[in-house]
Chain A
Amino acid sequence: MRYLPSSTVEDRALLDTIGVPNAEALLVGIPESARLKRELDLPTQSSEQEVAWQMMGLANRNTRFCAQFLGAGAYDHFVPSAIDALISRQEWFTAYTPYQPEISQGTLQHIFEYQTLICDLTGLEVTNASLYDGGTACVEAALMAVRVAKKRSTVLVSRGLHPMYREVLKTNFAPHDDLKLVEVGLKDGVTDLVDLQSKLNGDVAAVLVGYPNFLGAVEDLTALAGPIHAAGALLVSVTQEAFAFGWFEAPGKVGADMACGEAMSLGNKPNFGGPFLGFLAVKDAHKREIPGRVVGQTKDLDGRTGYVLTLTAREQHIRRDKATSNICSNQGLVALRANIFLQLAGPEGLRGLAEQNAAKAQYLRQRLLELPDMEAVGDPPFFNEFVLRYHGDYAALQEACLKESLLPGLELGRFYPEFAGCILWCATELHTRQMIESLVEILARVPATV
């Protein structure tokens, strides 16, 4: 086995030093009755070449699309070559959590810079070294809000939040008989202010709102913040498409007390949904309630600036069942991709990319609306996703698109019965005018429903 430095001569020397005849003799601590008396019923070892072919075969069994007009929480953006080149350095990808700061300054300084950039994007003051993904970030945000609010046990969740995020919230709230998760309805594609006000009361710890929401529409955080803050609750903005931070104002500057969500867009591919990049940014006053690893600046014995894991008194290895969360492993390397991406883009790059995303999505929407079967669903300000009602047969549309290697938008009926027949479309800087025209051309040929 090529990864194991075995040799008969050396192995003998190891066993002689230990004083056992063979390796099996070291298993004495495992009771006979617990041991496997046979070999595992699995294929035996393979060469690199054989494994490479087998795995390439699997990769090739996936359909490759010329263009994907599907976002819905996983966005296809361009990834600069520098990112893969840099993260392929063993110093980045093989290292462990930076427990020994003297030989982990690379990782620690990177996280400090990453924290700075997430705070910049969200307009908030403190963040951590990352969370797993958008859905679990919502869970951490909601549980943290309950801790911060003290003696409040209801969390309101806008129906505009990503349906999978709502599912993950539901799963994680189920064990807590003392906590309530209540949905706030939509009106015209955004959170219904009247329904929100009727559900706000002294027991509400926080309100989670998509920014922009799953349907692509931007929520007016300022308008929502008024009643939410008046009720003594926290406004948590949830962003599933981090490119929107280049288009819409930082949530922390328009009323959000906490901002969380998904930042996979920054330097990653859709990757069948993971590894992605959950984030959570909060106000300085709440920093001791934040979950996960946090890096802080300090000095070494010679007075040189350095970085360490800090505020560890919140964490599981110290506080055990009183910890702010059980999280330890996070999405470190994905956070590094985001950090490199943001430093390459800079303020002009991020703003420019956001403008291109908005332009492409607007052009796509305009061209689709020229088709007789497509109809606008309101006209809310959006970023790179929007909803159109389709009067044709979605299955036929999907089939026509797939035949031409185009992945169409998402039919919403599965998640929103009230939007059955509506399609959520997405366009990014990757979509050329030519791709958009091809899509429109194909859709124009889809036979009308009888």
Chain B
Amino acid sequence: MFLRQREPLSFERSVPGKRGMDLPRLDVPVARDTRPSHLKRSGFDALPELSEVEVIRHFTRLSKWNYGVDDGMYPLGSCTMKHNPRLNEKVAGLPGFTDSHPMAPDAFVQGNLELLFTLQEWLKEITGLPGVTLQPSAGAAGELTGVMLIRAYHVSKGAKRRVILIPDSGHGTNPATAAMAGYEVVELPSRPDGTISFEDVTDPVNGKVRKGLQTLVAELGSDIAGAMITNPNTVGVFEYRFREISELLHSVDALVYMDGANMNALVGVARPGDFGVDVMHLNLHKTMSTPHGGGGPGAGPVCCGANLVPFLPVPVVARDTVKVGEGEVPRHSYRLDWNRPQSIGKVHTFYGNFGILVRALTYCLSHGSDGLKEATLRAIVNANYIRARLKGAYSLHIDSPTLHEVVFSDTHQAKHDVHTLDIAKRLIDHGFHPPTIYFPMIVPGALMIEPTESEGKDELDAFCDTMLAIAKEAEEDPDALHQAPTLAPLRRLDETTAARKPVLRWQKA
């Protein structure tokens, strides 16, 4: 419960002489000072002086101004805010894991290596792809790794290709990644359901013709390194011509990257390796429930086909079978394999966000093959239940069932000058985290709702009842929505001034 309206910056509370940490007795001689005088630390301008009590209260009070997954439904579309099991946290904190040093000899971190190897095996079976690297720290880092694998593939064939195709319904990280990997981005037009258009599309507003996949492949041909495709796409629809797209791209030896942000809709139901994907990333902080931490850390493992395995980042975790006597159960030993001459190199200082990978394997073991599939189906049922309950009150972007998320538009409410932002802010007053808003960009005033499998009927109904009440309020008292939120710790914030006159740190007056 928060009882205070304001918690000052800790710097404003600092009082000389206080400290929140006592040092151990020094049992060796005091350090000789060998530093050149200009390299001696002169002082600090901001580090506060506070007792442990004050620091704990500060961060406890601040925490109460946050909304978390345990507060209620957190239906951010494409973010997969599911339950974060406490077992996973406990396991990741075991000293056997946390104290282990990344440069320790392989023989002394066999538990870690077996864990990583096991997780790799799970991800291979889930995606149907035979190669895995666990190094990328987040989805975007996975994308970059994947696109660099595509590049290494073409370079190994002596080809220099310059273009990556990306649908306009894709996440912003896709084009940003392609650019970071040195590629030019050519946008693929999508159809209203977000799927890729094979045919050219004429813009109804300006009459401009945008080239479809067929034209682009015919014209650009072997200039195309690959395409980055989110599947299911950001509208929650499976790219139902995926195999054809893949075959068309493969016909010019271009590769298919799948953005796996929405993999929560496919685990146990369909495997990317079976429908034409060459390389993809998984967001373990989405699909495998590792906590989002207010922005990270995540983990973005990359899975790939046999044609890309030689290029995987070093090191790869390998397993050797230890020779045993006849009739005995074979034992295994694990090692980091650095000897991979065609590897693109390292993409993380060490082996990735290990602590997050521990949580992901714990999630996998808890669910098992049956639980993983049940979670997928339940996530899809939940999204379609919301769709069924809200479809009269809110404008549905497309009129056929979607998978794990459902996208509405604010066109009904806009008639009363109530927009997506107002609806989102009003949800806050009712105790819900708003959905993803204004994305995907191909849907005007998008409200992208992803309930995940964690919600039961009770919470789904409470959310839907609230959404229906807001729709009614939009007709009867639109101004109440413009004022929302009124029950949150703060009202709407001035983002324009924040960007125009940035104040990005505290400074002594």
Cβ of A107 and Cβ of B295 under 8 Å apart? yes
| 9-31 of chain A: CB within 8 A of chain B | 10-11, 13-15, 17-20, 23-24, 26-31
> Contact mask B23-58 → A, CB, 8 Å, 1/0?
110111111101110111111111111101001101
| 86-101 of chain A: CB within 8 A of chain B | 86, 88-101
- Least Cβ–Cβ distance between B273 and chain A, in angstroms: 10
Q: A136-B137, A299-B494 are in contact. Are A106 and B240 (CB under 8 A)?
A: no
Cβ of A270 and Cβ of B31 under 8 Å apart? no
How many chain B residues touch A (CB < 8 A): the figure is 207
Q: Is B344 an interface residue (CB 8 A)?
A: yes
Cβ of B99 and Cβ of A76 under 8 Å apart? yes
Q: Is B411 an interface residue (CB 8 A)?
A: no
- For B374, B387, B498, B503, the residue with the greatest tally of chain A CB atoms inside 10 Å of its CB is B498
Cβ of B493 and Cβ of A102 under 8 Å apart? yes
Q: Provide 13 A-B residue pairs closer than 8 Å at the C-beta atoms, listed in order of the A residue.
A: A40-B373, A45-B368, A58-B96, A109-B9, A133-B137, A134-B349, A175-B148, A218-B39, A271-B98, A298-B497, A304-B6, A349-B21, A433-B28
- Least Cβ–Cβ distance between A118 and chain B, in angstroms: 9
- Least Cβ–Cβ distance between A83 and chain B, in angstroms: 9
Task: Please choose the segment from A151-159, A191-199, A306-314, A442-450 that sits at the chain B interface, where 4 or more of its residues have CB less than 8 A away.
Answer: A306-314
How many chain A residues touch B (CB < 8 A): the figure is 210
Q: How long is the Cα–Cα vector from A141 to B108 in the complex, in angstroms? A: 34
Cβ of A51 and Cβ of B270 under 8 Å apart? no
| 63-100 of chain B: CB within 8 A of chain A | 63-71, 74, 76, 79, 81, 83-85, 87, 89-91, 93-100
Cβ of B493 and Cβ of A113 under 8 Å apart? no
Cβ of B28 and Cβ of A94 under 8 Å apart? no
- Least Cβ–Cβ distance between B329 and chain A, in angstroms: 16
Q: A74-B101, A117-B46 are in contact. Are A35 and B270 (CB under 8 A)?
A: yes
Say which residue of A68, A287, A301 sits within 8 Å of B502 (CB atoms).
A287
Q: How long is the Cα–Cα vector from A60 to B28 in the complex, in angstroms? A: 33
Cβ of A274 and Cβ of B351 under 8 Å apart? yes
Q: How long is the Cα–Cα vector from A163 to B177 in the complex, in angstroms? A: 25
What are the nearest 6 A-B pairs in CB distance?
A273-B350, A59-B96, A333-B293, A5-B456, A332-B295, A273-B102
- Least Cβ–Cβ distance between B500 and chain A, in angstroms: 9
Cβ of B353 and Cβ of A429 under 8 Å apart? no
Cβ of B96 and Cβ of A60 under 8 Å apart? yes
Within 8 Å CB of B95, what residues of A?
59, 64
Cβ of B69 and Cβ of A316 under 8 Å apart? no
Say which residue of A23, A116, A332 sits within 8 Å of B46 (CB atoms).
A116
Cβ of A15 and Cβ of B269 under 8 Å apart? no
Cβ of B294 and Cβ of A332 under 8 Å apart? yes
- Least Cβ–Cβ distance between B291 and chain A, in angstroms: 5
Within 8 Å CB of B42, what residues of A?
249-250, 253
Q: Is A241 an interface residue (CB 8 A)?
A: no
Within 8 Å CB of B346, what residues of A?
135, 164, 167-168, 171
Q: A271-B100, A327-B140 are in contact. Are A168 and B347 (CB under 8 A)?
A: yes
Task: Please choose the segment from B199-207, B216-224, B400-408, B472-480 that sits at the chain A interface, where 4 or more of its residues have CB less than 8 A away.
Answer: B400-408
Within 8 Å CB of A353, what residues of B?
23
Say which residue of B28, B35, B46, B505 sits within 8 Å of A218 (CB atoms).
B35
- For A95, A107, A220, the residue with the greatest tally of chain B CB atoms inside 10 Å of its CB is A95
Within 8 Å CB of B488, what residues of A?
102-103
Cβ of B369 and Cβ of A273 under 8 Å apart? no
Cβ of B268 and Cβ of A317 under 8 Å apart? no
> Contact mask B106-131 → A, CB, 8 Å, 1/0?
01111110110000001001101000
Q: With contacts A60-B96, A61-B111, A111-B295 known, what are 14 further pairs, Cβ within 8 A?
A: A4-B375, A29-B238, A29-B400, A56-B96, A95-B66, A95-B68, A104-B67, A133-B350, A175-B182, A271-B98, A275-B137, A340-B59, A349-B20, A363-B29
Within 8 Å CB of A101, what residues of B?
490, 493, 495
Within 8 Å CB of B108, what residues of A?
62-63, 65, 402, 407
Cβ of A80 and Cβ of B100 under 8 Å apart? no
